[in-house]
Amino acid sequence: MSSQGATAVLPDAEPESFTLEAVDVTGTHWVTAEDIQPSLPAEAVARALAARMALPQNVPWALRDDSTSAFLDDRTPIGDQLEPGAQVTVVPKTHLG
């Protein structure tokens, strides 16, 4: 009987946290957040980044990926939409008409 070890290919583990660089839409405030949880919805991350920038908390905020200019889906986990080290812009949500 042979006692050879088996090799298992495991999927890449999701990082416990990752870093994002964020700027507000005016370019006045910026922050590097090094503790973003990939499982958090983008909306929660937008609120947290806005708070770190001392932006008004009575405004709904969204995130725009600077590399694609696409708005992130509020309900989708941030780690499913961005790579670690991504740059985003925090923008107020506007509902016109």
pTM (predicted TM-score): 0.81
Strand pairing class (61-65; 18-24): unpaired
Q: How many residues does the chain have?
A: 97
Containing structural domain, residue 63: 18-92
For residue 78, what pLDDT is reported?
Answer: 97
* pLDDT tens profile 48-62: 999 999 999 999 999
Are the CB atoms for 87 and 67 separated by under 8 Å? yes
Q: Is residue 45 part of a domain?
A: yes
Q: Is residue 8 part of a domain?
A: no
| pLDDT at 2 > cutoff 90 | no
Identity of the amino acid at 31:
V
State the Rg of the chain over Cα: 18
* pLDDT tens profile 62-83: 999 999 999 999 999 999 999 9
Q: Is residue 79 part of a domain?
A: yes
Find all residues with CB under 8 Å of 85, minimum gap 6, and list them.
18, 19, 20, 21
Instruction: CATH number of the domain at 72, please.
Output: 3.10.20.90
Grade residue 6 by pLDDT with cuts at 50, 70 and 90.
very low
As for how many domains the chain has, the answer is 1
Residue 92 pairs in a beta bridge with: 61
Q: Is residue 48 part of a domain?
A: yes
